[in-house]
Structures are given as structure tokens and as C-alpha cells.
Chains A and B, each alone.
Chain A
């Protein structure tokens, strides 16, 4: 831990990608090359992005540690800080505190099949792990991605998706609630709720399932995974809570005696069941 865990490092926005009408992706680099070169993190860990004058907010680092040209954060427009972040342009200064929190158990998952189930902005934490696994492809078994959003225009990471669809070592299925006229022409384009499509895909239940999305989607996805026979300690999700300090001090992200910012955000379903019912 750094000498001052609440003091951000200065960084600069290199590039801004407009993903959807309310999601933008920011690629940033630390200003101090030394900080940039020494920076390490693991897939699943988060960072605090600061715009001085508006404040800080927590986002998963959705780039992969295998590609350290920049750190990437995807930000959905929801409030005071995110509104200000959305105004950022390439060249603007931001503060970054990272890495924070725990990570996906990438070691433990080696040699196993992995099914990714992402909904909306919940694709961000999955992206980092997915890219990491694709960059270490031989370490993992069959990889399946099911990614859903309200409409085709609400799907982020279009460039990535196009690349993944082109690969033969990952199965990609996309689903939306509200299709447009173009949607459905390709076999990987489905219509329907994520848990239903998941059951349709019926992935092999011996491997890992990693899911993230809005609370209601997670709830039904967990039920579907159960039904499909996935083991509770092989279902992994990441939690979102209001966070401030990100280092286990300020109190607000607690679930019982656990803090999502240090004991999470990554939890196994079996671990979630041990926590008090306060999600």
C-alpha cells in the first residue's frame, strides 16, 4: 500500500471512445513514466478516477494487464462525478488511484472452461478477464461469451466484439431486448433476456461462470446457472457498492464485516451466500 492511500497519481486521458449513448471508455496513462512502468494489477481490480472539483468514482480497470499501453475505464453517465468525466477529452488531466480491491482467481481457473455472462455496463469487468485469457489462451479451456444489452446500440466494445467473433477459439453470443431491423441476421445475434438465452446455450457446467450486470440480471442469471448445474464456488461475480475511499476505511461499502472495496469486488457465489443479506 502506498504511503498515502488516498492521494491519486496524476494521469492524462489518451483517448475517449463513445461506446453507447451513455457509456464512454477512457484510456489513460500516468504522467510519471516511472509510475506507468512500475504499475501492475490483476484482472478484476478497480481504480478510482478523479476529476478535481467534482470528485472520485470507482471503476474497474477493464484493460488487461497483458497490454499495458494504457489503463482503460468505461464510465456510465449516472451522477455528479460521471457527468464531469464524460466531458473529458484527450489531453485532459485526471487523478487515478489504482489498483484497488481483489481480482479474479486466474490461477485457480487455469485449465478450465469459462463462460462469461455480461449485461450492459457489467461487460466492463468481464472484458479485462476475457482479454487476459485470450492473451494467455493456452492456459484456459473453452471460452464462451454471452453479452446482452437493451438494444444493439447499447452494446459496448463493438471493435472487440468484431474481433472476438472472428476468432475460432471463443464462442460469442449477443442478445438484446429490443432488436432493430438489422439484428438477427447473424447466428450469434439473439433476442431475449440473458438468463433465458443462457439456458438455451446450455454451457458445460463443469467449468467456471463469470457474470456481471445490473442487480436484477445477476439475480436471475445466478438462478439460471444453478439450474444448469454450475457449482456455487465456480460461479464468480463482481459487486458494485457506493464507494468513497476504496481502501476499507470510510465504511459505506460494507456487507456485514466485509468491505466490497478490499474483500471484493470479486466474489464467488459460495462466498456471497455466507454474507448477510444486504445487497
Chain B
């Protein structure tokens, strides 16, 4: 892959000035990559870029504060979280070097699992952005990309890394499969009662492991999240529908106008709870009300972080 060779080259050149470069390396099987922390020349060759580079490397930035010079290999969607963090002055952009490339989309493990049985039985899966070729229990299978990709890829408008210092390979001209989020649209066809019942059932499944929170690049409170606070106490340690729902709503509310819809929360959820529905709904409202798209312009200010007596995008009813 041309881009990968170029990326490695760019990283090799930049590494002497950097403390670490975060990217991806092959994981324990063909369907998994894991984060790679490049600190020396010999680490560079471990870098991989493929349809399983699902982790958003910018989630590790909150551990890297304090003047560390950090390089990041980012997909387009990942780069939006960095822009949002810079905007909120949670990061200093001078400390960052971003290595970009054109992304053809990533695959979704939950969808693979739903279609082919347990993920561990799938021997390999490769995608060119249109078709996925798999080997499952010795048999060759093919499926359209759109049926197995991450939900966010279906509506992706940023297949190329934004505001990067280096860009490797060709830009991706991958177009969104749909302008509208179909899953959300379908969900909103349901009655209020049906929707509430849906969430109650989903929240019953939550185990409060906080993978969603910890995988979120925007959850910067880290070890001091109010979900763990006993004084004041917002949540009971009881793992039940009510408390789980409360936690998930806290998470969504704290991301209003900040969530860049990278989907890490939902991907990290071991129970595959579709919590991105909540975030996409919230981001949609922010777009409608404030004409604001989080993580696309570092000079902007998130709508809930500023105050104007008359919001230009809101028509007052007098």
C-alpha cells in the first residue's frame, strides 16, 4: 500500500523531534489491530493501516499532556476529535504532529459477528471500500462494504484527515453512502413509548464498565468523572436500568456540541449497545439549532461554551 510506505517515511523523518507517534499495529488475529506507540525506529515497521484500524488514537492524548511532543496517525473521523480538543484548549496544537491519509472506511466487529457467528471464527476479512472478502471456517464469503462497515462510515463526509501536518498517499474520494443517518431515521419513526421501551431494554444490558467513557476522546475528566463521585452522589452503584440510563444521559449531555461522532463509545461497548443513536441525535440537534459541526474548525467555539443574548441561528419567538 502506497500510503503506508509514505506514512512510515514521514514518521521516520519526524520521529527525532517527537516523544511518541500513536498509530496501529497488528493485533492478536487478522481481524484486530491494536494501538501502536512508536518511540524508536524499529517500532515504525509495525505500523499497519487497514480496515480494522478502528481505534481512535486521539483517545490517548489525555494521558500525554504536559508538553509531550506527540505524533498521531489519524483517519479523517479521528482528526475531528483533535480539532475539537485544540478548540477547547485542552491540547496545544504546537505539541502535535498529525499524519493523515485517505480512508476507505473501517469494518464493524459487531456486524461481522451478527452475520458470520462469533468473531473469533472468522479467519480473515479484507475490504477495498466497496466489497469485503472474508474467509469463515475455511469458506470464502463476500459482502458489500455498506453492510459490514462502521455505522459512521455510511454518512462519512471526512474520509481524509483534517488539518494534518503530513498527508500520505492519494486522497480518498469515498462518498457517503447516504446523506441521512438511516438507523436514526428509522428509530425516530417509532412512537415515544416504543423508543422509551427500547432504551429501557438497552440500558438493562449496560454493565457500567465505562468502556464507552474511557474510549471517548472527548471525555477528558479521566479518573475524576462524576459518575464515580460519591460526594456529591449522582449515581448509585446499583447497576440497573435507571442508573445506567442516568449515566448514559450524563455522557451524552457532556458531549453536546463536543461529540465528533467518531463512534468509539459504541465500538468499545462490550454489550454492543447502540449508544451512538443518542449522540447522533444530539449532534443533529446542535447542527439544526446552532449550525455547528463539532471538530471541523479549530477557530470555532462550541455553542454551549459561549453565550450570546441573541443566537444568530435561533429565531426568537416574540
User: In the complex, A touching B, CB below 8 Å?
Assistant: yes
Q: Chain A residues in contact with chain B, CB under 8 A?
A: 79-80, 83
Q: Is the interface of A mostly helix, strand, loop or mixed?
A: helix
- How near does chain A come to B174, taking the closest CB pair, in angstroms? 48
Please list 5 pairs of residues, one from A and one from B, whose beta carbons are closer than 8 Å in the complex, sorted by A's number.
A79-B230, A80-B230, A80-B231, A80-B233, A83-B231
Q: Chain B residues in contact with chain A, CB under 8 A?
A: 230-231, 233
Measured between beta carbons, the chain B residues less than 8 angstroms from A80 are 230-231, 233
Q: Is the interface of B mostly helix, strand, loop or mixed?
A: strand
- How near does chain B come to A6, taking the closest CB pair, in angstroms? 15
Measured between beta carbons, the chain B residues less than 8 angstroms from A83 are 231
Specify the chain B residue showing the minimal Cβ separation from A54: B230
- How near does chain B come to A250, taking the closest CB pair, in angstroms? 13
Specify the chain A residue showing the minimal Cβ separation from B232: A80
Measured between beta carbons, the chain A residues less than 8 angstroms from B231 are 79-80, 83
- How near does chain A come to B235, taking the closest CB pair, in angstroms? 13
Bound form: Cα–Cα A80–B230 in Å: 7
Specify the chain A residue showing the minimal Cβ separation from B229: A80
- How near does chain A come to B121, taking the closest CB pair, in angstroms? 34
Measured between beta carbons, the chain A residues less than 8 angstroms from B233 are 80
- How near does chain A come to B232, taking the closest CB pair, in angstroms? 10
Specify the chain B residue showing the minimal Cβ separation from A55: B230
Specify the chain A residue showing the minimal Cβ separation from B233: A80
Measured between beta carbons, the chain A residues less than 8 angstroms from B230 are 79-80
Specify the chain B residue showing the minimal Cβ separation from A81: B230
Measured between beta carbons, the chain B residues less than 8 angstroms from A79 are 230-231
Bound form: Cα–Cα A30–B233 in Å: 31
Bound form: Cα–Cα A83–B231 in Å: 10
Specify the chain A residue showing the minimal Cβ separation from B231: A80
Specify the chain B residue showing the minimal Cβ separation from A79: B231
- How near does chain B come to A209, taking the closest CB pair, in angstroms? 36
Bound form: Cα–Cα A79–B230 in Å: 9
- How near does chain B come to A137, taking the closest CB pair, in angstroms? 45
Bound form: Cα–Cα A79–B231 in Å: 8
Bound form: Cα–Cα A83–B230 in Å: 12
Bound form: Cα–Cα A83–B232 in Å: 12
- How near does chain A come to B78, taking the closest CB pair, in angstroms? 35
- How near does chain B come to A82, taking the closest CB pair, in angstroms? 11
Bound form: Cα–Cα A83–B233 in Å: 14
- How near does chain B come to A85, taking the closest CB pair, in angstroms? 14
